[in-house]
Amino acid sequence: MISNHNNTSVFQKKRVFLICLALLVIGFGTFVFGLMGGHPERAWQAYLINFLLWSSIAQGGLLFSVVMHTVKARWSGPLSNLAESFVAFFPISFILFLILFFGKNHIFPWIHQDLHGKEIWLNVPFLFTRDFVGLLVLYGLGFVYLYHALWLKLDRSMSHGRIRKRLYSGWDRSISDAQRCRDRMTIFGILYILAFALVLSLIGYDLVMSMDPHWYSTLFGAYTFVKAFYIGLGGLIILASILHLNPDIEFKLKPSQFHDVGKLFFAFCLVWADFFYVQLVVIWYGNIPEETTYLIERTMTPPWNSLAWFVFIICFILPFVILLNKKVKTKPQFMSILCAVVIMGIWLEHLLLVGPALNHHALSLPLGLTDGLIFLGFLGLISLAVMYFLNLFPEFLRGETREMK
C-alpha cells in the first residue's frame, strides 16, 4: 500500500515537472520566434512585462517570511516555509535582467530622444550598473536570510545531496546556537525589507517610469513595491492552496491560517488601490502638463482606457467585494482562483504602464497569442524553480519544522 502511494506521488511529480518544462519550452520558443520575426519589439515588450511580474512575485513572496519572522507571527510558520521557496527564482531573475541588455534598443524608447539634461541619469551603462548592483544586494540579502532560516528548519538526519552537505559544513563553522541564528535572521530580514523598498523603487523608475522620460511621480516607487508584495501574497496563496489540496502531500493549513493570510491579501488590495488612486488624484489636482499627459493617454484614450478600467475592476473592485465575506478567505479553491485573477490583472497593468510608450498611436491593444505563450513560459520557469527547492528541502512540505517544535 505504501509502495503504491509513493509510486503515485512520484508519477504526479514527474507529470507536473513535464508540464512546467513544456510551458518553459513553449514560452522560450515563442520568444525566440518573435525575435526572428518582423516585430522583435513586441517580443521584448512581453519579456520585460513578464520579468517585472514574476520577479515581483518572488521578491514579494520572500518578504512575507521576512515580515512574519520580524514581528514574530507564529501562526505563519508553514506559510513562511513556502514563502522562502521563492528564493529559488532569484538567480533566474538576475539572469533574466542581464538578458534585457540585449533588447535595450527595443525597450528604452528614450535612447534616441532629446532628454533635456536627463542623460546623466538615463543612459544605458549607468542604468544597468545601478540596477545590477541593486538586484545583487537584494538577492544577496535574501539568500543570507534563507541560509540562516534553513539552519533552524532542516532535518540534519537527511544529509543526502551536495547542496545540503555544503550547508551543514558551513553551519558547523559559522553558527553555534539557535538564538544567534534567529538574531542574524532578524538583522538580515530588516536589511532585506529596506532593500526591497529601495531596489524595487529603483526598478520601477528605471524599467517602467523611464519609458516616458519626461513624466515623473514621487509616489511611483512606493506603488511599485506595494504592488510587488500584493502579488507576492497572491502567488504564496496559490502555492499553499495547490499543496494543501493535494492529498499526496503532507502540507496542510488550518482554515484560520488561510483566513489570516487572506486578510493580509485583502489589506494590500486596499493599499494597492489607495496608491493607485492617490497617485491619480494628485496628478489630476496639480494639472501639470508633463504629468497629466501620462494619465490622459492611459485612462482616457482608446484603446488604453478600457484596459485601465478592466485592471482596476479585477485587481481591486472584484477582490474587495469577494473578500468582504469571511468564509471565502478560508476556502483555498476560491482564494487560489481569485489570486490568479489578480495576478493576471497586474500583468495587464504592466502592459498599461509600458505599452503606450512602446506602441505609439496604437489602434488596438498590443496583446496577442505571443504574449500569452511567453507568460506561460515564465510561469513554467518559476514553477520549476520552486519545485526544485521543495524537492531539495522536503521538510518545508511537512507544515512543521524544527523551529516551530
pLDDT tens digits for range 381-391: 999 999 999 98
What domain count does the chain have? 1
Q: Which domain holds residue 287?
A: 12-404
Q: What mean pLDDT do residues 9-26 have?
A: 83
B/e letters for 311-345, b = 16+ CB within 10 Å, e = fewer, are bbebbbebbeebbeeeebbbbbebbbebbeebbbb
Q: What is the pLDDT of residue 135?
A: 98
R_g (Cα) of the chain, nearest Å: 22
Would you say residue 265 lies in a domain? Answer: yes
DSSP summary character for residue 224: H
Q: Within a domain: residue 289?
A: yes
pLDDT digits (tens, 9 = 90+) for 136-195: 999 999 999 998 888 888 766 666 667 777 777 666 656 667 788 888 899 999 999 999
Q: Is residue 1 part of a domain?
A: no
Q: Report pLDDT for 281.
A: 84
The C-alpha cell at 215 is: 513624466
In a domain, 99, yes or no: yes
Please give the pLDDT value at position 3.
42
Q: Is the pLDDT of residue 398 over 80?
A: no
Q: What is the pLDDT of residues 83-102, one digit of tens each?
A: 999 999 999 999 999 999 99
Residue 322 lies inside a defined structural domain of this protein: yes
What's at 260, amino acid-wise? D
pLDDT greater than 50 at residue 234: yes
Any domain includes 32: yes
Cβ neighbourhood burial of 305 (10 Å; 0-12, 13-18, 19+): middle
In a domain, 247, yes or no: yes
Position 3 in a domain = no
In the chain, count of helices (H) and strands (E)? Answer: 16, 0
How high does pLDDT run on average in the chain?
89
pTM: 0.93
- How do the residues of the chain divide into helix, strand and coil, expressed in percent and rounded to 5? 80, 0, 20
* 279 and 298 Cβ atoms separated by less than 8 Å: no
CA distance 66 to 329: 22
Task: Output the pLDDT for position 228.
Answer: 97
pLDDT surpassing 80 at residue 370: yes
Q: Which amino acid is at 404?
A: M
Greatest Cα pair distance, the chain, in angstroms, is 73
